[in-house]
Amino acid sequence: MSAAAETRGFAPRCRRRRSPHRILGRLASRVRPPPSRVRPPPSRVRPPPSRQRHPSVTPASCERHAAKGRPWLRRVNATGAAGPFSANFKALTAARAGIVIVANRGPNDFVWDGNAWVTRTATGGLVSMLTPLARQSSVAWFCCVSEPPDAQQARQGLFTTAADQTDPRLHVVPVPLPAETYHAYYGQISNEVLWMLQHHVIGRGGFEYLDKARHQAWGRYLEANARMAQAIARAGRRPRALLIQDYHLYPLPGLLRGLFPDTPILHFTHIPFPDPPVMRLIPDPWRQTILRGMLGASVVGLQTPMDVRSFLACCDEFLDVAVDASQDAVRLPDGRQICVRAYPASVDPLALRRTVRTPEVAAAQQRLDRERGDLTIIRVDRLDPSKNQQVGFLAFARLLEMRPDLCGRVRFLAFLVPSRTDLGVYRTYRDAVYGTIEDINQRYGDACGGPPVRVFYTNDREQALAAMQRCHVLLINSLQDGMNLVAKEWAVVAEEPGVLVVSETAGVAAEAADSALLISPLDVEGTARALAEALDMPLAERSARHRRFQGRVKQWSARDWLNAQLADLHVRQL
């Protein structure tokens, strides 16, 4: 380890050689570096963290750095975190939060019950994987809010109230964004460009070119990240660790590194990371901002080893840095080393088993018993072009054509969750999928004694889990997937051994390679044959495959996913 690295207050646990490298530009010239101190060996007690207060990202500093070629620090409204949101910051300071989570979305949803807004714990893997942190220390969760209802809830204090009701150690800190900024940051860039780019949906329902409006939206994306940095800086306390989530916040680690030079920062990308040929589809300044922003972290977390290789290849191709692919590390010229690690996301088996024993799941089970056939194929996913539902239904139609004996015996139950319905590309894809389903039901309805495809277009988690408990085949034919936690949920809750038919381009395929039937996502014929093989598979083979995959999921749970990241940040594990 170099002397420069040893004297730094924090060094990521890379177990790698160090070498000199260039650091990214500092966020604000007014930030004073903390006094140098040597990190003690693990057997000794670490000194208390510095109490130095780091200045906020001010509009003036943003303007100075924008003039220096750092466009993500453009001038923004400095009042974003004041006024009605100050109570949240007081709660954060009082909580002496050791860990800060930063994500686009908060851990709460809001539902209108006819009289008032009611808070509920948000669904999804991100919330379930991160909220256990509050069991060991105070956690502040920074999230973006836009126009009503979210901004209205923040003004009424529901963010903090909801968090305190579920766990007094979890404090939600909303960061307000103007409506036009949020729409550009979240819709036009995060979802329509980055999501589509990283899931290989360009030209297949995704964006086809980057015009003036899209470049203006990119400026709003950078502004949203700068506002998040402002809010965290205004909290007035140096965090023990920062956990930044996903593609919405690529520039944020670089912004925060200038504010908190010694703080462990991890950025985790939950979706696939593109390789250099795909990254070349966006302008070089965008690539530079994404990669340099991520390298502001101490540890860059990705879903799979393939994603790690893609990220390292992009750094090697587009940046003037030293990439050590054999050690999974990037070295900047100032001597700072960034570890790049694969942390496959997972589920909480114990929590899932508790959920499937609830009355809601039992009631859903009774309803679904009327819909199932002798053989049942299911799919559970958001209605999204990247999930490739249309090709999956075409493969089912081909199955019925190949195997007339299955007509009347097999049912396809599709649990499609509404997603981003405010975006035109999603509405267009939804209509195309519905058209395909109608064609199949009209063509085979008489021969099958009724529609062979049944669609449940709702976000009903209990119903989806009930379907997973009793099915013969789970089909996942996504174009790209960071991981796909549905496959792991199915492995845990299934009462009867079924067969997983999954795209080899899904992150979960690497873990299920010896348990599932792997398919190419665009191969209608191959998918139809895989469905037939799964339906014909003997019980003994189904059981053996299912046990292998289930055992693997139990060995690496959501708790293991989180603990591995905390260990690499030198933060106490759960």
User: Given a cut of 60, is residue 371 above it in pLDDT?
Assistant: yes
Nearest Cα neighbor of 475 from 377, 362, 344 is: 377
Across all residues in the chain, what is the average pLDDT?
A: 83
Q: How far is CA 451 from the centre of its chain?
A: 35
* More confident: 261 or 44: 261
- Tens of pLDDT, residue by residue over 80-102, are 333 334 445 444 443 345 899 99
pLDDT at 121: 64
Q: How confident is the model at residue 56, as a pLDDT?
A: 42
**Exposed/middle/buried for residue 442 (C-beta within 10 Å: 0-12, 13-18, 19+):** exposed
pLDDT by residue (tens digit) across 239-292?
899 999 999 999 999 999 999 999 999 999 999 999 999 999 999 999 999 999
DSSP three-state, residue 64: helix
pLDDT interval class at 170 (50, 70, 90)? confident
- How far is 118 from 127, CA to CA, in rounded Å? 18
Domains and CATH numbers, the chain: 3-21+86-111+126-346+563-568 (3.40.50.2000), 349-555 (3.40.50.2000)
Nearest to 142 by CA among 95, 175, 96, 186: 175
Tokens for 459, please give them.
Answer: 């976000």
| Residues 347, 124: Cα–Cα separation, whole Å | 10
> CA-based angle 392:398:401, to the nearest 5?
150
- Is residue 19 scored above 50 in pLDDT? no
DSSP-based three-state secondary structure for 236: coil
In the prediction, which pLDDT does 73 show? 37
pLDDT tens digits for range 521-570: 999 999 999 999 999 999 999 999 999 999 999 999 999 999 999 999 98
Please report the beta strands in 279-372, taking only residues with DSSP state E, as ranges in sequence order: 299-302, 322-324, 329-331, 337-342
**Residue with the larger pLDDT of the pair 212 and 75:** 212
Q: Based on the number of CB atoms within 10 Å of its own CB, is 510 exposed (0-12), middle (13-18) or buried (19 or more)? A: middle
| β-pair type (170-176, 517-519) | unpaired
Output the pLDDT for position 72: 37
Mean per-residue pLDDT, 183-190: 96
pLDDT digits (tens, 9 = 90+) for 429-477: 999 999 999 999 999 999 999 999 999 999 999 999 999 999 999 999 9
pTM for the complete prediction?
0.82
Q: Are strands 108-112 and 117-121 parallel, antiparallel or unpaired?
A: antiparallel
Model confidence over 128-147: pLDDT tens digits?
788 778 777 788 999 998 75
* Residue-level pLDDT at 163: 46
Give the amino acid at 232.
I
Q: Which two tokens stand for residue 347?
A: 């589920």
The helix-helix angle for 252-259 and 212-234 (nearest 10°) equals 30
Mean pLDDT of 99-115: 79
Number of continuous H segments (helices) and E segments (strands) in the chain: 22, 17
- The pLDDT > 70 percentage for the chain reads 76
- Grade residue 124 by pLDDT with cuts at 50, 70 and 90: low
Q: Is the pLDDT of residue 322 over 50?
A: yes
**DSSP code per residue over 360-422:** HHHHHHHHHHTT--SEEEEEEEES-GGG-HHHHHHHHHHHHHH-GGGTTTEEEEEEEE---TT
Per-residue pLDDT for 6 more than 60? Answer: no
How many residues are present in the chain? Answer: 574
